[in-house]
Amino acid sequence: MMSDMRVFVAVDPPAEVVDDLDAFLEARRDSGDGLRWTPPSQWHLTLAFMAAAPERVIEDLVGRLGDVVERRAPVGLAVVGGGCFPDVSRARVLWAGVQGGTALAPLARSVRSACAVVGAAPEGGPFRAHLTLARIPRPRDATRWVRVLESYAGPPWSATEVAVVASHLPREKGHRPRHEVLARLPLGG
């Protein structure tokens, strides 16, 4: 019997970018005041998220996404600064910003459209390029963290591929989701 899958389409930063940001945050995590830090191995730029994509459409989804991304050129990016969702005074999510991320917006729109066409309608609001660094259990002011992130500027890199990823929720409390890459699709250009 086919079921639904949690799936997202994302751009993964390269190892040297992840390592640089991780080293910057390493000394600061201990003063995290109860923040739940996202493992660096799970940092990505989400282009589309589907909480319940029918498993039967995944093959068509990958094929359609391949057609979409091969028509898009690689994009120059850098992790710079940061912020909070929904805002700094009621922060629930701490994120790192992405310089050049607005260039990914047309790709995100095309990816979301391809997802909807095959029957895996994406969720969420407008695309905003960011890496989720930590979740905050209760809303609170995170001005101090945003100031820390404003001092960060990582190395430049080029987004050259898009990943289609299944996100498996943990079966036990206290565990994190497990990510399984279903496909890597190169950007054309």
Decide if pLDDT at 35 tops 80: yes
Q: What is the pLDDT of residue 49?
A: 96
- From CA 101, how far away is CA 151, in angstroms rounded? 18
Decide if pLDDT at 14 tops 80: yes
123-157 tens-digit pLDDT: 988 899 999 999 999 999 999 999 999 999 999 99
| Ordered domains of the chain (ranges, CATH) | 4-186 (3.90.1140.10)
Decide if pLDDT at 119 tops 60: yes
Decide if pLDDT at 47 tops 90: yes
Decide if pLDDT at 40 tops 90: yes
Q: What is the pLDDT of residue 174?
A: 65
Decide if pLDDT at 66 tops 80: yes
C-beta atoms surrounding 108 within 10 Å: 23
Cα–Cα nearest to 52, from 18, 2, 126: 2
Q: What is the pLDDT of residue 2?
A: 65
